[in-house]
């Protein structure tokens, strides 16, 4: 019988499945450190709203990977535009 990590594979888990947990971890770290350290959020960021959620949770920066793979460089422009307009 395969373990959960073996089922996921060597590439690991990324993207949408990590969204909620990632936000929880960002909030936890930000709260525990009083915002004294830079937090780079990743996991499940596909839209400007996703990026804003991470920033509102206490992230200083966001990292986009899976969304970049699926949408290409245009995702960065879309996210920045959404953040700029808010």
Q: CA-to-CA distance for 16 and 27, rounded, in angstroms?
A: 18
**CA-derived radius of gyration, the chain:** 14
Taking only the tens of pLDDT, the chain with its 86 residues reads 766 555 555 556 667 778 899 999 999 999 999 989 999 999 899 999 999 999 999 999 999 988 999 999 999 999 999 999 98
3-state secondary structure of 16: helix
CA angle (56 as vertex; 54, 60 as ends), nearest 5: 65
What's the pLDDT score for residue 27? 97
Q: CA-to-CA distance for 46 and 79, rounded, in angstroms?
A: 8
What dotted CATH number matches 12-85?
A: 3.40.50.12600
What's the pLDDT score for residue 19? 87
């Amino acid at each position: 019988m395969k373990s959960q990590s073996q089922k996921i594979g060597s590439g690991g888990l990324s993207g949408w499945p990590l969204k909620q947990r990632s936000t929880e971890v960002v909030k936890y770290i930000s709260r525990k450190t009083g915002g004294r350290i830079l937090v780079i959020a990743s996991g499940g960021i596909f839209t400007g709203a996703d990026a804003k959620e991470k920033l509102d949770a206490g992230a200083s920066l966001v990292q986009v990977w899976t969304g970049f793979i699926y949408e290409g460089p245009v995702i960065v422009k879309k996210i920045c535009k959404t953040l700029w307009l808010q």
